[in-house]
Amino acid sequence: MTTQHTDYDAIAIGAGFAGLALIHYLREAGLSIRVFDKAADIGGTWTWNRYPGAMTDSESYYYCLTFSRELLQEWSWTRRYPDWKETHNYFHFVADKCDMWPHIQLNTEIVSADYQQDSAHWLITTAAGDTFTCKYFISGMGMISEPVIPKIKGMDTFKGPLFHSSRWPQEDLDYAGKRVGIIGAGATTVQMLPVMAKTAKSVTVFHRTPNFILPAMQQPMTPEWEKEIKENYDEIVTKCRNHIFGMAFDTAEGRKAVETSPEERQRIFEEKWTGSFRWVFETFEDLLSDPEANKMASQFIIDKMKERIEDPAIAEILVPKLEDYPLFAKRPPLDHGYLEAYSRDNVHLIDIKDREPIVEITETGVRTTENHYEFDIIVLATGFKAYTGALEAFPIRGVSGQTLREKWQQQSKSIMGVCVADFPNMFIVTGPQAPFANLPTSIEQNVIWITNCIKKMESEGYDVVSPRQEAEDEWTAHTAEIHNQTLMAEGDKVNSWMMGANLEDKAPRVLIYFGGANNYYDRMDESANQGYPELEFEKRTG
């Protein structure tokens, strides 16, 4: 290997699912690896997202790594959707059982990564001024890890705690009996509001865009259910690998909403209304491809939402209209009592899009065009710089000296979300133009591809692997073409993070491969089987 020339064969940033998967697969391949994370603990998203009610939207038993059948059998989930604490405990279980801790360095912020043309190595610098070298530099920083902080006048004047929801204070924040303002009404607020409303004096949500909200329908993990899962884990893992969304769902078996009678369609919609994203994929196969079918599904969700909201004025703000945007053009949150929370006397909803735009934050609260609302705590649930934010948060410089942020100013281009032209010997786990799917499934598929590419490098004596510019151009064009053929293109109507439309410094762009996670995984396998034609391999020594 290359350890005599570098500190490590591979350096990765991010000790979440990606970091742990990289440790397993690269160590199995005989490489030395160091995973850095600026957090004080492993877990990635589940170290940072500790807000009240934080939990997964994927069902627990396939929201996990699958490289060890032994681990799948030993670990027991307690619920259909684990909260951040249980998921965090799962990370520790994996790291403990697989002896991963010697490869992890926490409390270490990386402030620059520079490719060294002469040595074909990467130079990694920490905030403390320490430097490390490696042959392979890998980002495992995640697709939604860098928060969007809105620019609201007076934010620095507020006298109480004001923070982004993904940076929840690690010391216990006592919000019981306090007046809480939440700016933003996406998936985080959908989870957070019902929990905070139970003990806060009041919770006021500043709301912009209505969401199609699906029910989660939480359930305990019964011994019978767990037994069924563990007896069928091979099938479950295969289902995830071969599903359009990377989840262990069944298919709609060729059933189309537009070809089904209204009575039968309604019966199927009702029968499958059992929680999770399953409803979208197990009812009819055309809900995300046919505009009429999408409207049928959207109307069903609209009706279901209205049934659960007592106040018509609240429903007018919360519930999308058919003409707003198609279902799934904006990520639909899963609900654990969110809509019912607005029936509480201590929960208030402010429409900042059409009725009361926010003017400023004051020393004591939030001023809109109509009122001044006083708070003890303000939470910014304002989303993330999806896919590219963490990679642009510090300078990563390639051959030309250009940073990723500079390269991606106009268009966030990549090869399958794992490689970027002008950045040799660098890989990204679930970068821009990868699919939006069950993340552990995509992460593991990415890490397998990366590991096999590195194994080819080492076994055949290559020093440099350079992503081909023409391959990057082809993948970017392919991703855009698929996007334009789907209903997702109408996501431009909303300020969706899935298109990067929530960023003030960049124009919206195609950040997601919408051709189906299963087809994407097939494409990665095809690439590996053909010897990685998207990449150019070079020997400098020997």
Q: Name the pLDDT band for 1 (thresholds 50, 70, 90).
A: very low
CB 213 within 8 A of CB 190: yes
Locate all alpha helices (DSSP H) within 176-261, ordered by sequence.
187-196, 223-231, 233-241
Rounded average pLDDT over 382-399: 89
Dist CA 249 CA 146 (whole Å) = 30
Instruction: Please indicate, yes or no, whether residues 357 and 404 belong to a single structural domain of this protein.
Output: no
Instruction: Please indicate, yes or no, whether residues 373 and 405 belong to a single structural domain of this protein.
Output: no
pLDDT in tens, 223-262: 999 999 999 999 999 999 999 999 999 989 889 999 999 9
Percent of the chain at pLDDT > 90 equals 85
pLDDT at 333: 95
11 Cβ neighbours under 8 A, 6+ residues apart: 33, 34, 35, 36, 122, 124, 132, 134, 136, 137, 138
Rounded average pLDDT over 173-182: 96
Amino acid code (one letter) for 495: N
pLDDT for 167 beyond 50: yes
pLDDT in tens, 277-314: 999 999 999 999 999 999 999 999 999 999 999 999 99
pLDDT at 2: 42
What sign has the CA pseudo-torsion 240, 245, 249, 255? negative
pLDDT in tens, 189-228: 999 999 999 999 999 999 999 999 999 999 999 999 999 9
Least confident of 54-68, 485-499, 505-519: 485-499
Least confident of 25-34, 453-462, 479-488: 479-488
Decide if 22 is inside a domain: yes
pLDDT for 145 beyond 80: no
67 Cβ neighbours under 8 A, 6+ residues apart: 21, 24, 25, 444
Query: What is the count of structural domains for the chain?
Result: 2
Decide if 151 is inside a domain: no
- Indicate the DSSP class of residue 149: -
Last residue of a domain, one of 349, 380, 411: 380
Instruction: Please indicate, yes or no, whether residues 294 and 230 belong to a single structural domain of this protein.
Output: yes
Decide if 279 is inside a domain: yes
CATH number (domain holding residue 473)? 3.50.50.60
Decide if 320 is inside a domain: yes
Distances (CA, A) of 293 to 211, 244, 499: 18, 18, 23
Q: Name the pLDDT band for 172 (thresholds 50, 70, 90).
A: confident
Decide if 468 is inside a domain: yes
Dist CA 185 CA 208 (whole Å) = 7
Looking at per-residue pLDDT, the higher value among 90 and 487 belongs to 90
Instruction: Please indicate, yes or no, whether residues 302 and 434 belong to a single structural domain of this protein.
Output: no
Instruction: Please indicate, yes or no, whether residues 267 and 319 belong to a single structural domain of this protein.
Output: yes
pLDDT in tens, 431-452: 999 998 999 999 999 999 999 9
Q: Name the pLDDT band for 490 (thresholds 50, 70, 90).
A: low
Q: Name the pLDDT band for 385 (thresholds 50, 70, 90).
A: confident
pLDDT for 499 beyond 90: no
Q: Output the six-digit token pair for 515.
A: 């051709």
pLDDT for 502 beyond 80: no
pLDDT for 419 beyond 90: yes
Locate all alpha helices (DSSP H) within 29-134, ordered by sequence.
45-48, 69-74, 84-97
CB 419 within 8 A of CB 475: no
Q: Name the pLDDT band for 492 (thresholds 50, 70, 90).
A: low
Q: Give backbone dihedrals phi and psi of 450, rounded to 5 degrees, phi first.
A: -60, -45
pLDDT for 165 beyond 80: yes
Cα–chain-centroid distance for residue 289?
23
Instruction: Please indicate, yes or no, whether residues 140 and 82 belong to a single structural domain of this protein.
Output: yes
Instruction: Please indicate, yes or no, whether residues 350 and 413 belong to a single structural domain of this protein.
Output: no
Q: Output the six-digit token pair for 375.
A: 């708070």
Q: Name the pLDDT band for 37 (thresholds 50, 70, 90).
A: very high
Last residue of a domain, one of 348, 380, 412: 380
pLDDT for 44 beyond 70: yes
Instruction: Please indicate, yes or no, whether residues 42 and 137 belong to a single structural domain of this protein.
Output: yes
pLDDT in tens, 318-344: 999 999 999 988 889 999 999 999 999
286 dihedral zone (left: phi>0; alpha: psi -120 to 50; beta) = alpha
pLDDT at 43: 96
Rounded average pLDDT over 497-513: 66
pLDDT in tens, 95-111: 999 999 999 999 999 99
CB 103 within 8 A of CB 23: yes
Decide if 184 is inside a domain: no
pLDDT at 507: 67
pLDDT for 494 beyond 80: no
Decide if 261 is inside a domain: yes
Instruction: Please indicate, yes or no, whether residues 430 and 515 belong to a single structural domain of this protein.
Output: yes
Rounded average pLDDT over 406-412: 91
Instruction: Please indicate, yes or no, whether residues 338 and 400 belong to a single structural domain of this protein.
Output: no
pLDDT for 72 beyond 60: yes
Instruction: Please indicate, yes or no, whether residues 345 and 406 belong to a single structural domain of this protein.
Output: no
pLDDT at 498: 59
pLDDT at 500: 54
416 Cβ neighbours under 8 A, 6+ residues apart: 433, 434, 449, 475, 513, 520, 523, 524, 527, 534
Residue ranges making up the domain that contains 245: 214-380
CA angle 204, 209, 211 (to 5 degrees): 95
Instruction: Please indicate, yes or no, whether residues 117 and 58 belong to a single structural domain of this protein.
Output: yes
CB 349 within 8 A of CB 318: yes
Last residue of a domain, one of 380, 406, 432: 380
Average pLDDT, the chain: 94
Decide if 193 is inside a domain: no
Q: Output the six-digit token pair for 21.
A: 């998967």
Report the predicted TM-score, pTM, of the whole model to 2 decimal places: 0.95
Radius of gyration of the chain (CA): 23
